[in-house]
């Protein structure tokens, strides 16, 4: 009878011959240690006499800042020999875990661990609490006491050692893939930043590095690799500072990408202040050794992070910024995934399992990739803008002809070739007559229309190979390769007539436009009695200008060539 009573409240033992691996969550019964610390003996009594709560999912998730928990489950080794199994609690932040194995009423072993215990003293040098034991034939009761300041999420796993090792390998691959993508993206963006010096690439790189460090830290991996011997005190502080690196870099990346300062100055200033004051508050916490205070601030920043991201996206959408929608999509996805993981860890609404625990990482990876796609598109837009800017640097926006810079650039190679071959070049300079009065009488836009029409007339009159440009306000120039001054005169006269014939009306009346034209050029490869040289081009333009001046002074609407000019020494 007594034996029967003692098993009433303890769940059926798990048969090891049928279990090579799995979660113990649904086999566990537990109670909370509400009235001060109790001994193992007292706990054993409670397990036998009190009503216990049964686990319902893979993890016993009870929330943040809760009383210590006593848990128990039993396993039954029905084989003929002891079996080596690994017992683990797969949350790395649990402060203290004590496990007792009880066989035939005797305590076989007591294993202490948790991140409150120095890494070197933990039962396995591992990122979370785990130990291996050869379970003897028959029933062994496992009793655990867990105490932690952080979230009480207790996914208890019981695996044969082979299975435990293969789970380790699988999780190594998963983390490797995740961090591999993140680190590759981070390096790529940091390299881009080093070469093209755009802040958003650098900040995005830092954001990704921060994310990886944060993940390494809260999954306990950092402390098994880099900071194993630094002690739990150091680890706690490192954890909370690493937690905020990605949010700080991420927020500044968002500001820089969306240029929030231009259309949401208050939000922008709030973000700047948040990313200064919260880390500052944490530093003060460090100086006064107030871990809980600093921890609360880091949680606050990380919770605000996603909300501020969404707020930036919404503001950008209202301001009709490109990429705003995809920015919102990425941050909302991340927010949902972070919420899922947080609720699962806190034991509220969402069941705890491998997927819900890792949702935060999947969400962040998804967000990182979407943000990378924004940067890639932005890169493309910047390239297009550069091409357009380059075009405008050489083109007059009103007439679409070359400007001065475009003119020199596009004539250069032809000039060099002609000079080498001893052939002819000519220059025609055109200045509209009394153009000021067109603006004054009919307005500036009519003046613009005239300039466009003249540009068209020039393009239509030019032969293939001629290069025209807007030289100044109402002045145009044409470079005529393989053309002697004599031939240039004929072409200039044709152009003068074409300009005069432009069919324009203003205020219901015909508007006649005329131009004065100066021409200068070489004959038989000679210019000013010397073979053409590259220098003679400037001299030729000046000579055409003088001829133009002459045309203006002697009645306008005419073409004059440089022979009328006697002084070439410009
Ligand atoms: N609409 C318009 N006007 C321009 C532009 N660039 C320069 N102008 C005008 O062109 C006029 C040039 O005037 P002036 O240099 O006195 O020349 P003009 O009236 O043609 O006189 P002459 O050359 O002596 O026949 C000025 O009124 C400028 O404002 C432009 O892009 N669009």
- Which pLDDT band holds residue 347 (cuts at 50, 70, 90)? low
Q: Which two tokens stand for residue 558?
A: 């005419």
- Bridge-partner residues for 72, per DSSP? 29, 143
Cα(451) to centroid(ligand 1), Å: 10
- Which pLDDT band holds residue 2 (cuts at 50, 70, 90)? very low
- Which pLDDT band holds residue 79 (cuts at 50, 70, 90)? very high
Nearest CA to ligand 1 atom 29: 436
How high is the pLDDT of residue 106?
A: 94
The helix (run of H) or strand (run of E) holding residue 74 is strand 69-77
The mean pLDDT of 384-398, rounded to a whole number, is: 88
452 lines ligand 1 (CB under 6 A): no
- Which pLDDT band holds residue 221 (cuts at 50, 70, 90)? confident
How high is the pLDDT of residue 559?
A: 96
- Of 403, 473, 476, best ligand 1 pocket probe by most atoms within 8 Å of the beta carbon: 473
* Ligand 1 closest atom vs CA 556: 25
* Ligand 1 closest atom vs CA 439: 1
How high is the pLDDT of residue 565?
A: 43
434 lines ligand 1 (CB under 6 A): yes
How high is the pLDDT of residue 513?
A: 94
The mean pLDDT of 368-379, rounded to a whole number, is: 84
Q: Is the pLDDT of residue 138 over 90?
A: yes
How high is the pLDDT of residue 33?
A: 93
The mean pLDDT of 58-68, rounded to a whole number, is: 83
CATH number of 2-163: 2.60.40.2380
SS3 206: helix
- Residue with tokens 């000039």, as numbered in its chain: 415
* Ligand 1 closest atom vs CA 431: 23
Q: Which residue has the higher pLDDT, 424 or 348?
A: 424
Give dist(CA 30, CA 40) in Å, integer: 14
Where are the chain's structural domains?
2-163, 198-383, 404-564
Nearest CA to 527 out of 418, 405, 430, 431 is that of 418
CA dihedral 449, 450, 451, 456 (to 10 degrees): 90
Report angle CA 465, 467, 473 to the nearest 5 degrees.
165
Angle between helices 444-461 and 485-500 (to 10 degrees): 140
Cα(329) to centroid(ligand 1), Å: 53
Q: Which two tokens stand for residue 252?
A: 């500044």
Q: Is the pLDDT of residue 564 over 70?
A: no
How high is the pLDDT of residue 534?
A: 67
- Residue with tokens 């973000």, as numbered in its chain: 271
The helix (run of H) or strand (run of E) holding residue 15 is strand 14-15
The mean pLDDT of 178-207, rounded to a whole number, is: 90
429 lines ligand 1 (CB under 6 A): no
Give dist(CA 526, CA 94) in Å, integer: 93
**Which one from 474, 530, 538, 561 is the annotated catalytic residue?**
474
396 lines ligand 1 (CB under 6 A): no
The mean pLDDT of 460-470, rounded to a whole number, is: 94
In this structure, what are the phi and psi dihedrals at residue 558, rounded to the nearest 5 degrees? -150, 165
Nearest CA to 200 out of 384, 381, 375 is that of 375
How high is the pLDDT of residue 346?
A: 64
Give dist(CA 46, CA 507) in Å, integer: 104
How high is the pLDDT of residue 229?
A: 64
The mean pLDDT of 87-98, rounded to a whole number, is: 91
How high is the pLDDT of residue 383?
A: 85
Q: Is the pLDDT of residue 51 over 60?
A: yes
* Ligand 1 closest atom vs CA 440: 27
The mean pLDDT of 99-111, rounded to a whole number, is: 95
170 lines ligand 1 (CB under 6 A): no
- Give the model confidence (pLDDT) of 440-459 as tens digits: 999 999 999 999 999 999 99
Other residues' Cβ atoms within 10 Å of the Cβ of residue 478: 29
Please report, rounded to a whole number, the percentage of residues in the chain having pLDDT higher than 70: 95
Other residues' Cβ atoms within 10 Å of the Cβ of residue 317: 15
Span of 100-114, 269-283, 527-541 with lowest mean pLDDT: 527-541
Cα(439) to centroid(ligand 1), Å: 8
- Which pLDDT band holds residue 271 (cuts at 50, 70, 90)? very high
CA dist 321 to 312, 315, 316, 521, Å?
Answer: 11, 9, 5, 53
To the query of whether residue 474 is one of the catalytic residues in this protein, the response is yes
Q: Is the pLDDT of residue 6 over 60?
A: no
**Residue 562 gets which letter from DSSP?**
G
How high is the pLDDT of residue 270?
A: 96
435 lines ligand 1 (CB under 6 A): yes
- Which pLDDT band holds residue 544 (cuts at 50, 70, 90)? very high
439 lines ligand 1 (CB under 6 A): yes
- Which pLDDT band holds residue 261 (cuts at 50, 70, 90)? very high
* Ligand 1 closest atom vs CA 432: 20
How high is the pLDDT of residue 231?
A: 62
Q: Is the dihedral of CA 521, 525, 530, 532 positive or negative?
A: positive
Span of 77-81, 215-219, 281-285 with lowest mean pLDDT: 215-219
How high is the pLDDT of residue 312?
A: 95
Nearest CA to 70 out of 46, 91, 103, 101 is that of 46
In DSSP notation, 446-513 reads: HHHHHHHHHHHHHHHHSPTT-EEEE-SSSEEEEEEET--HHHHHHHHHHHHHHHHT--EEETTEEE--
| Contact of 511 with 504, CB cutoff 8 Å | yes
CB neighbour class for 500 (10 Å; exposed up to 12, middle 13-18, buried from 19): middle
In the β-sheet with 515-521, what is the strand arrangement from edge to edge?
Answer: 467-470, 475-481, 425-432, 515-521, 559-561
How high is the pLDDT of residue 20?
A: 78
Q: Is the pLDDT of residue 35 over 70?
A: yes
- Of 430, 433, 436, 504, best ligand 1 pocket probe by most atoms within 8 Å of the beta carbon: 436
441 lines ligand 1 (CB under 6 A): no
Other residues' Cβ atoms within 10 Å of the Cβ of residue 181: 16
Other residues' Cβ atoms within 10 Å of the Cβ of residue 250: 28
Q: Which residue has the higher pLDDT, 56 or 397?
A: 397
How high is the pLDDT of residue 441?
A: 93
Cα(491) to centroid(ligand 1), Å: 24
387 lines ligand 1 (CB under 6 A): no
199 lines ligand 1 (CB under 6 A): no
CATH number of 404-564: 3.30.70.270
């Amino acid at each position: 009878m007594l034996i029967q009573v003692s098993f009433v409240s303890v769940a059926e033992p798990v048969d090891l011959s049928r279990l090579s691996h799995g979660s113990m969550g649904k086999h566990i019964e537990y109670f909370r240690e509400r009235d001060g610390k109790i001994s193992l003996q007292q706990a054993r009594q409670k397990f036998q006499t009190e009503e216990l709560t049964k686990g319902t999912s893979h993890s016993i998730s009870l929330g943040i800042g809760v009383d210590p928990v006593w848990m128990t489950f039993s396993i039954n080794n029905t084989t003929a020999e002891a079996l080596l199994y690994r017992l683990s609690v797969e949350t790395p932040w649990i402060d203290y875990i004590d496990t007792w194995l009880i066989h035939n009423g005797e305590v076989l072993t007591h294993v202490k661990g948790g991140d409150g215990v120095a890494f070197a003293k933990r039962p396995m040098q591992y990122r979370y609490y785990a130990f291996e034991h050869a379970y003897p034939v028959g029933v062994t009761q496992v009793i655990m006491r867990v105490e932690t300041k952080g979230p009480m999420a207790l996914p208890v796993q019981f695996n044969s050692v082979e299975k435990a090792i293969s789970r380790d390998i699988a999780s190594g691959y998963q983390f490797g893939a995740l961090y591999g993508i993140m680190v590759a993206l981070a390096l790529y963006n940091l390299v881009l930043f080093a070469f093209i010096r755009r802040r958003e690439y650098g900040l995005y790189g830092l954001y990704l590095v921060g994310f990886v460090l944060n993940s390494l830290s809260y999954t306990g991996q950092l402390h098994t690799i880099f900071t194993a011997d630094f002690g739990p005190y150091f680890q706690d502080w490192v954890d909370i500072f690493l937690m905020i690196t990605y949010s700080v870099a991420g927020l500044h990346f968002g500001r820089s990408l969306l240029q929030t300062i231009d259309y949401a100055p208050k939000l922008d200033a709030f973000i700047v202040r948040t990313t200064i004051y919260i880390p500052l508050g944490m530093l003060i916490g460090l100086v006064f050794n107030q871990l809980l205070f600093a921890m609360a601030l880091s949680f606050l920043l990380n919770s605000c992070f996603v909300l501020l991201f969404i707020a930036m996206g919404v503001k950008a959408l209202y301001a009709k910024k490109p990429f705003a929608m995809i920015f919102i999509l990425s941050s909302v996805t991340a927010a949902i995934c972070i919420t899922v993981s947080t609720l699962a860890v806190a034991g509220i609404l969402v069941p705890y399992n491998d997927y819900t625990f890792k949702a935060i990482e999947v969400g962040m990876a998804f967000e990182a990739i979407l943000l990378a796609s924004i940067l890639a598109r932005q890169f493309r837009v910047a390239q297009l803008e550069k091409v357009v800017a380059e075009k405008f640097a050489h083109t007059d926006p009103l007439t679409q002809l070359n400007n001065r810079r475009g003119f020199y650039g596009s004539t250069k190679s032809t000039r060099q070739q002609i000079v080498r071959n001893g052939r002819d070049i000519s220059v025609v300079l055109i200045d509209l007559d009394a153009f000021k009065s067109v603006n004054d009488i009919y307005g500036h836009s009519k003046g613009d229309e005239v300039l466009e029409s003249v540009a068209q007339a020039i393009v239509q009159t030019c032969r293939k190979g001629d290069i025209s440009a807007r030289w100044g306000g109402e002045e145009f120039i044409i470079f005529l390769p393989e053309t002697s001054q004599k031939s240039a005169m004929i072409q200039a006269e044709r152009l003068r007539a074409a300009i005069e014939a432009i069919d324009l009306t203003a205020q219901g009346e015909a508007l006649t436009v005329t131009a004065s034209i100066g021409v200068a050029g070489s004959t038989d490869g000679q210019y000013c009695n010397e073979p053409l040289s590259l220098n003679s081009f400037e001299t030729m333009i000046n000579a055409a200008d003088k001829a133009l001046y002459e045309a203006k002074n002697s009645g306008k609407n005419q073409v004059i060539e440089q022979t009328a000019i006697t002084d070439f020494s410009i």
